[in-house]
Amino acid sequence: MGKFYSVAIDGPAGAGKSTIAKALAKELGFHYVDTGAIYRTLGYFFNLIGIGPKDIDGITKYIDECVIEIEWDDEDGSQHMFLNEIDVSEEIRTPEISRIASTVSAHALVRERLLDMQRDVAKKHNVIMDGRDIGSVVLPRADVKFFLTASPEVRARRRFDELQAKGSKDSFEKVLKEVNDRDHADMTRAVAPLKQTKSHILVDTSDMTIEQVIAHMGSIVREKCKV
């Protein structure tokens, strides 16, 4: 079996990971894997069955009832999340599920259960995988690791614009607080916290256009992965 390349993109919420990873994957012909969507699907499941995100006993008891599958659209490469065979790709994108996913993802049991699912994809495809602990835990031997970030204000502004486009009435201050709260939770949790390792290449997108970021990262991937 030939070698498959893997590119890890870690960083805080709203840094542009998914936009950049999607575009890069398309350009390079890699599979884009959004690992946050897996945590969101699990969070959505527990919310649906009335188990709180901190209730580790409930989570332990019911986690096996949650069957998550990932499929990619052949036409546009987009990732779809299935929860017990139902497509929940849209439902998992609310601010409420963001908060729940962040809390659920802090449990060691949860992270452990989702590890193989993420690694299996990388065994079968060239991947660009985005998340928080891809370079540090999930794919420590990834060919290229990026740490993509931007200031909290820039990230909150991007999320605010995105939410407004969907008709949300939330204020900018509220969105900024959510960004800061989620950063704090993701960076201070005991298990697999968001962190930049020595092998991550730092890319601060605060003053860069999407095109500049893609060109910069694309040239690094091409150089290292010979694609």
Interface contacts to ligand DC, rule CB under 6 A: 13, 35-36, 39-40, 98, 101-102, 105, 131-134, 182, 186
Distances (CA, A) of 162 to 24, 138, 168, 206: 20, 29, 9, 17
Q: Residue 41 or residue 126: which is nearer to ligand DC going by CB?
A: 41
**Residue 193 in tokens:** 């916290």
Q: Residue 102 or residue 149: which is nearer to ligand DC going by CB?
A: 102
Q: Residue 125 or residue 132: which is nearer to ligand DC going by CB?
A: 132
- Residue appearing with tokens 């497509």: 87
Q: Residue 98 or residue 126: which is nearer to ligand DC going by CB?
A: 98
Q: Residue 137 or residue 217: which is nearer to ligand DC going by CB?
A: 137
CB of 14 to ligand DC, least distance (A): 8
Q: Residue 24 or residue 186: which is nearer to ligand DC going by CB?
A: 186
CB of 123 to ligand DC, least distance (A): 17
CB of 143 to ligand DC, least distance (A): 18
CB of 72 to ligand DC, least distance (A): 17
| β 79-83/86-87 pair status | antiparallel
Q: Residue 194 or residue 214: which is nearer to ligand DC going by CB?
A: 194
The pair phi, psi for residue 55, each rounded to 5°, is -80, 85
CB of 99 to ligand DC, least distance (A): 8
CB of 111 to ligand DC, least distance (A): 7
* 147 close to 213: Cβ distance less than 8 angstroms: no
CB of 105 to ligand DC, least distance (A): 3
